[in-house]
């Protein structure tokens, strides 16, 4: 069909094409917004995963420090119990005060 033969039909097709092009533009804009949002979410997710890995490493390090401090506290408690024994008192008396048991024989080097 040639243009101009059916003016009403041509006008309807023109309006329909304009509506379709507006509809296509709207769809393209929505798709562009969705793509931008997806990219932003992906970047944010990658940042969060990196931060999470960093926090997990820090947590492991802190757990190790806690374990070391618990071991140290246990050693201190054991030493505290040892300090209360007669063996410790005897050892300190011998080392610091040069005291000996009555049944011990002391050999001193001649000068």
- The 10s digit of each residue's pLDDT in 40-83 is 999 999 999 999 999 999 999 999 999 999 999 999 999 999 99
Per-residue pLDDT at 6 exceeds 80 = no
* Residue count (the chain): 111
Confidence of residue 1 (pLDDT cuts 50, 70, 90): very low
Provide the mean pLDDT of the chain: 87
Angle CA(6)–CA(10)–CA(16) in degrees, nearest 5?
A: 150
Residue 90 C-alpha from the chain's centroid: 51
DSSP single-letter state for residue 3? T
- How many Å apart are CA 28 and CA 45, to the nearest integer? 25
3-state secondary structure at position 22: helix
């Amino acid at each position: 069909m040639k243009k101009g033969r059916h003016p009403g039909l041509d006008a309807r097709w023109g309006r329909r094409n304009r509506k379709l092009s507006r509809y296509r533009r709207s769809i393209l804009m929505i798709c562009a917004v969705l793509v931008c949002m997806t990219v932003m979410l992906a970047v944010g997710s990658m940042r969060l995963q990196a931060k999470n890995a960093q926090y997990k490493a820090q947590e492991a390090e802190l757990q190790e420090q806690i374990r070391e401090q618990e071991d140290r506290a246990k050693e201190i408690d054991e030493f505290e119990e040892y300090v209360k024994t007669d063996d410790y008192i005897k050892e300190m008396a011998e080392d610091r005060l040069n005291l000996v048991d009555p049944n011990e024989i002391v050999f001193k080097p001649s000068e």
